[in-house]
Structure 1
Amino acid sequence: MVIFSVLYAAADGAHFDHDYYNATHIPLVHEAFASTGLTGVQVFKGLSAGDGGPAPFIAMAHLAFRDAAALQASMGGPRAAEVLADVAKFTNLQPIAQVSALV
């Protein structure tokens, strides 16, 4: 299994529409990438830092793919541009992405 994490760092002037993200963007991600190997998505809303201060991230999504080939097929597939273009509809932030594997 390979995890593609998308993190939205808190910043001055940041806009993030959690309702749109959960009701529209995440279902689009499921629809676009399920056929190429997406097996699940977990979404988290930042509440606070570990010390109780402001959350360093507004939101995080962790997309699970069957394997690295499935991730490549999804990100290089015909619906990837549609998913990426949708980001501007819910945030003005540039997301941080990371690929990880369970150990």
Structure 2
Amino acid sequence: MIKASVMYPSGKDVKFDVDYYKNKHLPMVTNAIGEALKGLELDLGLGSRVPGEPAPYVAIAHLKFDDLDTFKASFAPHVALFAEDLKNYTNVKGELQISELITF
């Protein structure tokens, strides 16, 4: 299984509409990708290792897929749609990391 994580860095002038992201953007992504998506988690940053400092990321979405080929086939056709919606919830570009998911 693989996990595609979209990480939105926090910062002084970063704006992020959690309500829109949770209730509009992520459902749009889920519907577009369809059955290829095996799981979705949303992390909302609360802090960092230094007490009182903000989390390095305001939000991280984790999308799970069976394998890399499935991710590419189901995600790639919708990249422009997903990117176009960015302006509706944030002013920062998300970073994408694809990882092999190992559970214990």
Q: Which residue of 2 aligns with 1:67?
A: 67
Whole-Å separation in 2 of the counterparts to 1:22 and 1:88: 15
* Matching residue's letter, 1:70: T
User: Unaligned stretches of 5+ in structure 1?
Assistant: none
Residue in structure 2 matched with residue 87 of structure 1 by the alignment: 86
What is the aligned partner in structure 1 of residue 5 from structure 2? 5
Question: Identity over the aligned pairs, expressed in percent?
Answer: 35
Q: Matched residue pairs, number?
A: 101
TM-score (norm 2): 0.90
CA distance in 2, matches of 1:96, 1:34: 22
One-letter amino acid of the counterpart of residue 39, structure 1: K
* TM score, norm. by length of structure 1: 0.91
Distance in structure 1 (CA, Å) of the matches to 2:100 and 2:21: 25
Does the 8 A contact of 1:32 with 1:80 survive in 2?
no
**Which ranges of structure 2 fall in alignment gaps of 5 or more residues?**
none
SS of the residue 1:14 aligns to: coil
Hey, what's the Cα distance between the residues in 2 that align with 1:71 and 1:23?
22
Give 1:60 shift. 0.5
Shift of 1:51: 2.4
Alignment of 1:27-42 (within 5 A): 27-35=27-35, 37-42=36-41
Amino acid at match of 2:67: D
What are the Cα deviations for residues 5-29 of structure 1, in whole angstroms up to 9, with x where unaligned? 0001111211100000000001011
The residue number in structure 1 matching 2:25 is 25
Moved >6 Å (runs of 4+): none
